[in-house]
Amino acid sequence: MSSKTKIVVLHMKEIIYTVLFVILGILLLILLAVMFFPKDKETSTGTANYTPGVYTSSVTLNNMELLLEVTVDESHINSIRCSNLDETVTTMYPLFLPAVEDIADQVCETQSLENISYAEENTYTSQVILNAIDDALQKAKVDGE
């Protein structure tokens, strides 16, 4: 009967590399867990909850009535667009549509009507657009708030 004895030789360099890779693997798993598991996010509009849907508000430009549509879900502003914009309005007011798009992007990104920046030459138009968005959001708010 012969027994075969196996001897394992570990070099210190290999042990150090293995420990470092294990530590890096654990840190990577922690980072992924923090990034991908959602936390309770509070919207920047406070505790405002909306009734999901599409809400409209009118903007009058030189006797032409335009509708701004604000699409919301329970807690977010999803999109803002001008619904009945025809070629006459875009010709007579070429800066109106870019102003709506710029403000819509900022509002959807920040979820708030506060601290919206706009060009100095669009001050009046931007204020009219912001008032129309605010009017539509007031219609969207859940009763009792």
**Would you tell me how many other CB atoms lie within 10 Å of the CB of residue 109?**
10
Rounded-to-integer distance, Cα 123 and Cα 11, Å: 72
What pLDDT was estimated at residue 43?
44
What pLDDT was estimated at residue 61?
81
pLDDT in tens, 21-51: 999 999 999 999 988 887 655 444 445 588 8
Nearest CA to 125 out of 28, 60, 56, 57 is that of 60
Angle at 86 between CA 84 and CA 90, to 5 degrees: 120
What pLDDT was estimated at residue 45?
44
Report residue 2's pLDDT band, with 50, 70 and 90 as the boundaries. low
pLDDT in tens, 58-104: 988 878 888 999 999 888 899 999 888 888 888 888 888 888 899 99
